[in-house]
A and B are shown apart, each in its own frame.
Chain A
Amino acid sequence: MGMTITEKILSRHAGLAEVRPGMLINAKVDIALGNDITAPIAIDAFRKAGGGKVFDREKVVLVADHFAPNKDIDSAEQCKLMRDFALEQKLTHYYDVGEAGVEHALLPEKGIVVPGDLVAGADSHTCTYGAVGAFATGVGSTDLAAAMMTGELWFKVPETMKFVYQGRRRPWVSGKDLILYTIGRIGVDGALYRAMEFTGDAVAGLSMADRLTMANMAIEAGGKNGIFIPDAVTEDYCRNRAERKYTFDTSDPDAKYHSVIAIDVEKIEPQVSFPHLPSNAKGISEVGDVRIDQSIIGSCTNGRIEDLRIAAEVLKGRHIAPHYRLIVIPATPAVYRQAMREGLFDIFLDAGGVVSLPTCGPCLGGYMGILAKGERSVSTTNRNFVGRMGHPGSEVYLAGPAVAAATAVAGRLAGPEQL
């Protein structure tokens, strides 16, 4: 019987001819990733276990992105601990302020993660790399410590849910809208423990940026990983940036799926997920009159150049609502430079917004846009849990860059077509 792409990548890394859902396997990891929040605990566990040298200094990646540039003394200590470890271990892929960006935007952009890889990252949004056809999943700090030591981790082979997207996208509908709609349909535990395989004519036409956005949010449906079958778009994206040789895997026609879910893309309008779950998705025509105080455009979900271009297209020649805050956060230094060159910064500044340096910052309530009690932000990020972006009495509405930009102009939830 055939295997899915997820099963094939896992079997290759476990050195087995085939794997089946439910099997516990020990697999080699191509990349073990940590950040300034999760790495300190991993480094501590690594040292306590007498770790010595990491298994491969080319394959352990550390990125200072969450509370970096250091937001306070405690964050500075955590970043320093990680920096000292990275230098001591002579890690090839250690990224600090100036070179660092939001990790899940940075790694694909630099070609550190390539198709066919198995990536374990101590950050739940590690699943982003499924966009290039890798198996990538979030783990905890202790798992990261184990992976840094041994280059291996145990996994339970997940069942796969196949999502088939058909039809033409409406204007302003992006990968973010498709994934918010999908999570709205299946719920925040709709794919619990499972792989989400994104297929269909409608995803074949999606840019890599849109695919990264969709795979990024697999975790918000409880998924273990999200994955796309590599194709010509993948080849174009990887050709000039991949650091290593890569492998294109595909799912066999007779692969077995937990379920197959068909999604008619033509019906999907720009989405907004209401507080306090990503599954509270509504079409923009159904949102009603909701006053908003702030827009955040950035993050591992939507901080790439394509996202900033969409926001700029909406904001060009317009100004944000009075007493509104628009905060744009290019996800990486390369995105930052490109946006500057294309004149997007002028558009954001002319509209009354600000441009921040690359950081995860406000997405997880760190800094650069924290909310007071009763305040509301529309955000292109990935979670809208209670207190996620500040006071437990504040609210986060998730959307794509088009809605986040249009809302800034309107001062209330709106899509570009409502302006």
Chain B
Amino acid sequence: MKFRGKVWKFGDNIDTDAIIPARYLNIWDPQGLAAHCMEDADPDFVKKMKPGDIIVGGENFGCGSSREHAPIAIKAAGIACVVAKSFARIFYRNSFNMGLPIFESPDLWGKVKEGDEIEVDADAGQIRLIGSAAARLSIQPVPPFMQELIADGGLMNHITKGRKK
């Protein structure tokens, strides 16, 4: 897994109401949700971002509601992956279950600015800052069990596969 894209930066405690406001929870079609991705954190986000871009968050990204609509909206908007200092636990779990790649890096946030280009190499466990002084940062390894989930294509595929054995 390798992702190269432009950085969109957000602060600490970006909650799921900011990622997908509850007023849109009467929608469950992924593209319908994607149209409002990050709307209450940055109303123009969907207009500005391009598929393949990367969200860089601070502490406790995705806190609040358990709504899976949040990772669905981010994934359907075309965001390649999210890198944050830390994630709220339900969002963390949902992202793996849904197949939205997310990575913890306590240091990246302080080293990039919005618009910078980075490359996230999950296999090498590394983030490369492009254009700047060739900086490389390591990312927290994904636990083996979670790697298995991703390899199977998410939780439901993992279960279906297990049942067939």
Q: Which residue numbers of A lie inside 8 Å of B, CB to CB?
A: 24, 37-38, 40-41, 44-45, 48-50, 66-67, 71-72, 74-75, 78, 121-124, 126, 138-143, 145-146, 149-150, 154, 188-189, 192-193, 219, 222, 224, 277, 364-366, 383, 385-388, 392
A45 to B97, CA, bound (A): 11
State whether A24 touches B89 (Cβ < 8 A).
no
State whether B88 touches A142 (Cβ < 8 A).
no
Contacts of B67 in A (CB 8 A): 37-38, 140
Can you show 8 pairs from A to B with CB atoms below 8 A apart? A24-B143, A49-B157, A66-B25, A139-B66, A139-B94, A140-B90, A142-B156, A189-B13
Report the interface size class on chain B: 35 or more
Contacts of A66 in B (CB 8 A): 25
Residue of chain B at shortest CB distance from A158: B89
Q: Which residue numbers of B lie inside 8 Å of A, CB to CB?
A: 13, 15, 17-18, 21-23, 25-28, 40-41, 43, 59-60, 63-69, 71-72, 86, 88-90, 93-94, 97-98, 143, 145, 154-157, 159-160
Residue of chain A at shortest CB distance from B18: A386
A401 to B148, CA, bound (A): 47
Contacts of B63 in A (CB 8 A): 188-189, 222
Residue of chain A at shortest CB distance from B30: A41
Given A140-B68, A192-B88, the answer on whether A37 and B145 have CB atoms closer than 8 Å is no
State whether A224 touches B89 (Cβ < 8 A).
yes
State whether A72 touches B23 (Cβ < 8 A).
no
Given A37-B67, A222-B60, A392-B40, the answer on whether A385 and B156 have CB atoms closer than 8 Å is no
A226 to B134, CA, bound (A): 45
State whether B160 touches A49 (Cβ < 8 A).
yes
State whether A189 touches B26 (Cβ < 8 A).
no
Our pick among A122, A124, A192 for the contact of B86 (Cβ within 8 Å) is: A192
Contacts of A72 in B (CB 8 A): 26
Task: Give 15 new A-B contacts, CB below 8 A, not counting A75-B26, A139-B94, A366-B22.
Answer: A38-B67, A49-B156, A140-B68, A140-B71, A141-B68, A142-B68, A143-B93, A149-B159, A189-B59, A365-B21, A365-B22, A365-B23, A366-B23, A387-B18, A387-B21
A53 to B21, CA, bound (A): 33
- Give the shortest distance, in Å, between A357 (CB) and chain B (any CB): 18
- Give the shortest distance, in Å, between A161 (CB) and chain B (any CB): 14
